[in-house]
């Protein structure tokens, strides 16, 4: 067992000082966690690295929910930081329209949409067929369709079903596959593309 150092405190009291590498790393991890919490509550979220995207500038999306007819344009990322208020607006637009429940959407999913739109050179709004899906809604849909996964990433805010006006669905699929950033599902009969931030795969 590693030795423990004692340091004198106020009034002659002694307190235990970390001595092992594990203890030091635990304290450092706790400090990093507290720092991240302060950043999040300030309305800014530090952006993770994402291949293929610029680290400076702005990222914006325009979307239209086909079920609610709501439309928005939001700049959700500026110079390396995700913006909390625009993200909240996007979460609301992408809510489960059946239950009216919203859920935080994965910011990397938004980056995937942004990159896909840039890849195909479109400035048209994404048409949203499905964003967040509550567990109750997912279970109900599974009862009527074999194509709904039991552990769907829609329930985690990590998946979205879309169209992009003016873009051939097969071409959009090829562009999405080239990004190698998650799952790509091709549904030509229903005329939509599924995207998610899970492991790289396609069907």
CATH number of 72's domain: 3.30.1380.10
Q: Is residue 168 domain-resident?
A: yes
Question: In angstroms, rounded to a whole number, what is the distance separating the alpha carbons of residues 62 and 56?
Answer: 20
Reduced to 3 states, what is the DSSP secondary structure of residue 102?
coil
Reduced to 3 states, what is the DSSP secondary structure of residue 163?
strand
Q: Is residue 41 domain-resident?
A: no
Phi and psi based region of residue 33 (left: phi greater than 0; alpha: psi -120 to 50; beta: remaining) = alpha
pLDDT band at 114 (very low <50, low <70, confident <90, very high): very high
pLDDT band at 52 (very low <50, low <70, confident <90, very high): low
Residue 167 DSSP one-character state: S
Q: Is residue 17 domain-resident?
A: no
Q: Is residue 1 domain-resident?
A: no
Residue 72 tokens, joined: 């928005």
Mean of pLDDT values over 35-43: 41
Q: Is residue 9 domain-resident?
A: no
Beta-bridged to residue 169, according to DSSP, are none
User: Is residue 49 scored above 60 in pLDDT?
Assistant: no
Q: Is residue 19 domain-resident?
A: no
Note down the domain range covering 122.
46-202
Reduced to 3 states, what is the DSSP secondary structure of residue 158?
coil
Q: Is residue 190 domain-resident?
A: yes
| Predicted pLDDT at 30 | 46
Q: Is residue 191 domain-resident?
A: yes
Residue 39 tokens, joined: 């950043």
Mean of pLDDT values over 65-93: 98
Number of domains in the chain: 1
pLDDT band at 51 (very low <50, low <70, confident <90, very high): low
């Amino acid at each position: 067992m590693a030795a423990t150092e004692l340091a004198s405190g106020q009034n002659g009291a002694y307190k235990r000082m970390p001595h092992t590498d594990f203890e030091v790393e635990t304290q450092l991890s706790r400090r990093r966690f507290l720092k991240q919490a302060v950043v999040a509550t300030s309305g800014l979220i530090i952006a993770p690295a994402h291949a293929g995207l610029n680290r400076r500038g702005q990222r914006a999306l325009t979307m239209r929910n086909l079920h609610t007819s709501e439309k928005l344009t939001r700049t959700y990322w500026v110079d390396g930081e995700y913006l909390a208020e625009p993200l909240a607006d996007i979460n609301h637009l992408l809510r489960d329209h059946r239950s009216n429940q919203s859920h935080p959407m994965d910011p990397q999913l938004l980056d995937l949409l942004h990159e896909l739109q840039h890849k195909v050179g479109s400035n048209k709004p994404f048409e949203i067929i499905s964003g967040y899906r509550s567990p109750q809604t997912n279970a109900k849909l599974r009862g009527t369709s074999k194509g709904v996964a039991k552990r769907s990433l829609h329930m985690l805010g990590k998946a979205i079903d879309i169209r992009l006006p003016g873009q051939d669905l097969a071409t959009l699929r090829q562009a999405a596959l080239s990004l190698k950033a998650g799952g790509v599902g091709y549904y030509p009969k229903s005329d939509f593309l599924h995207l998610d931030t899970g492991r790289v795969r396609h069907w």
